[in-house]
Amino acid sequence: MKRAISFAVLLIAASLKISAQEVVQNNVKPVENALIQVTKLQPVSFNYDKAWAEKLKLSAKPQYGFVGAEAKNAFPEIVSVQAKSYASGKNAFKNATITKVDYESLVPLLVASIKEQQQQIEALQRELKTLKSQQSAK
């Protein structure tokens, strides 16, 4: 009996096996000039108005992020406006809009800007080394 149950479990597990197909990424290009765009972002701390936070089920605690309109100027593709419904009486609802920044999509842009800065630092280090060797040769 125990062996039959084990076989049944194995059979069910095998039948539920789902093969995953990797999705192909097209138009893959390195991110360029990210540093210029990232420097346009102004990190802020903020909290949502307590009444709105309660209505929209948002955290009223202090948060860190960006002002949506400013982030949209730098990276429009990572900013969206979402409508959220809230109760405005018995069986009545209204909508409010919230500008959201997709922070997960911002990570590759930050990495690209760090890499650009590193290239600038290394170029400055080479220049400094050259200047020091010229100075000591005199």
Count of positions (residues) in the chain: 138
CA atoms of 50 and 62, how far apart (whole Å): 11
- The model carries a pTM of 0.70
* Contact assessment for residue 110 and residue 137, using Cβ atoms and an 8 Å cutoff: no
CA atoms of 58 and 99, how far apart (whole Å): 13
User: Is the pLDDT score of 11 beyond 60?
Assistant: no
Tell me the CATH number for domain 34-133.
Answer: 1.10.10.10
The residue extents of the domains of the chain are: 34-133
- Give per-residue pLDDT as tens, 53-80: 998 999 999 999 999 888 999 999 999 9
In sign, the C-alpha dihedral spanning 42, 46, 52, 55 is positive
Q: How confident is the model at residue 2 (pLDDT cuts 50, 70, 90)?
A: low
Tokens standing for residue 45: 């701390």
User: Is the pLDDT score of 34 beyond 60?
Assistant: yes
Tokens standing for residue 70: 């400013």
User: Is the pLDDT score of 51 beyond 70?
Assistant: yes
